[in-house]
Each structure stands twice: as structure tokens, then as C-alpha cells.
Amino acid sequence: QSLLTQPPSASGTPGQRVTISCSGSRFDIGTNTVNWYQQLPGTAPKLLIYSNNQRPSGVPDRFSGSKSGTSASLAISGLQSDDEADYYCATWDDSLNGWVFGGGTKLTVL
Amino acid sequence: EVQLVESGGGLVQPGGSLRVSCEASGFTFSTYAMNWVRQAPGKGLEWVSYISSSSSTMYYAASVKGRFTISRDNAKNSLSLQMNSLRDEDTAVYYCVRVTHGSRFDTWGQGTLVTVSS
């Protein structure tokens, strides 16, 4: 099963802005919207961003998403210690007839 | 409160079978598509299977196609995953996930651990 490509790790200091990339193909990101999920340690994932750049109710506006061509990005500004988590991008893959996730990015707040 | 509660995980030998279930509450279950997503220990998320609200459409990941069967009972607000011919690599936490607007995985259960080992 194909995976979207994410960097395995990212880091920043409190207050900084970090971005996490997600790369795919014309069959997945190139054709469909991207969602992002946050998984805090020991918990189930949570929807963070949907439809490329929309935030569910309750998600702070420090989190933002974007998409261009076959790539997407998640940006977190004003980094906080409780942002330490794993972040996953996901989208539908037209060639697989199923969803694909990125491999996940572990964010460390230094 | 919208809630999904999985059950049925456990230890099973390679080649064996197991059925995991998910009980939904706090929303009109029959109007939502559902998914199973799994996560192997220390690994990332992997989508497993999808079922539409009326059970008319089902999809499976290539890694489980022919071995796993997804089903639902809207009268009982329940979702199930029948897993046959289990392999070591099926060891994972299995999450029940609600789908909205076609692709948003907006509600996740707490997961149930399936361990395949001799």
C-alpha cells in the first residue's frame, strides 16, 4: 500500500513556527483533499485539519494547512509544549480505491 | 456525546480468526460511513476497510483483501471486522472511525489491540 511521504521528525522551540510536508502523486493529493491528524502520546488520533485548510471546531488557529499540486503542508505557529505529538496526513487514492496515510512526523518541542 | 467503543481484541495464533466490534452512541449511526484503521506497535496509521452507511459499498486495503470482512448492523449501532487467516503483521491496535463529508475521519474510538503470535 502506497504511503504519502512525510519527514519522520520535526522540532522547534516554544513560540516558533514549524511546517510539516506531505508529498504524494496525481492519484492522491493531486486529485483529492488532504486531512491532517494529530496523535498525542498514548491516545487515539484526532482530526486536526480537513479539506486541505479547514479547522474543526475547537482546533486553535495556530494550526493551518495548505495544498499545492501533489504536496500539502501543515504549519504550526506559536509552538507549545503540548503540541508534541505525531502528525499524519491522509487522502483518498483513486488508483488504490482506498485511503492512504503519510508515515507520520514526530514533532518535538525543545 | 459522540462515542465509539471497540471490543474483541486479544491474542490469536497465526492462521487463526478474530472478530472485533465497535459500538456507536451519541449520533445517528445509520447515516454515517465507517472505517477501520490500524496501527502496529510503534508504527504509523494504516487504513484497513470502509463501509458505507447502508452497507452497499465496501473497500479494503490490499494487505487485508480476501481475509477481512467489514459489516455493520444499523439496528444495533454496531460495526464489525471479521479477520481470518491472521498473520504476524496484522498485530496492531484497531480503531473504529466515523467518516463525514466523504473523507473526514472525525471521530475515533480508543482502539482494541489484536496480537497475532504463536
Per-residue pLDDT of A71-80, as tens digits, reads: 999 999 999 9
**Which percentage of chain B shows pLDDT scores above 90?**
97
Spatial strand order in the sheet of A71-76: A18-23, A71-76, A63-68
Q: Is the dihedral of CA B54, B57, B60, B64 positive or negative?
A: positive
Mean pLDDT within B44-66: 97
Per-residue pLDDT of A30-52, as tens digits, reads: 999 999 999 999 999 999 999 99
Closest chain B CA to residue A50: B104
Strand-pair partners of B4: B24
Between CA B3 and CA A101 the distance in angstroms is 23
Q: What is the pLDDT of residue B102?
A: 83
User: Shortest CB distance from A44 goes to which of B44, B50, B110?
Assistant: B110
Residue to test with chain A: of B47, B60, B94, most A Cβ within 10 A: B47
Q: Can you tell me which residue has the cell 480508543?
A: B110
Q: Does A87 touch chain B (CB under 8 A)?
A: no
Between CA B27 and CA A89 the distance in angstroms is 26
Per-residue pLDDT of B56-111, as tens digits, reads: 999 999 999 999 999 999 999 999 999 999 999 999 999 999 999 888 999 999 99
Q: What is the pLDDT of residue A1?
A: 53
Between CA A60 and CA A56 the distance in angstroms is 9
Residue A94 C-alpha cell reads as 483513486
CA–centroid distance for A102 within its chain? 8
Residue B21 C-alpha cell reads as 466490534
What's the whole-number average pLDDT of chain B?
A: 97
Q: Can you tell me which residue has the cell 471497540?
A: B6
Q: What is the pLDDT of residue A3?
A: 85
A3 contact residues in B (CB cutoff 8 A): 44
**Which amino acid makes up residue B64?**
V
CA–centroid distance for B6 within its chain? 8
The stretches in chain A having pLDDT less than 50 are none
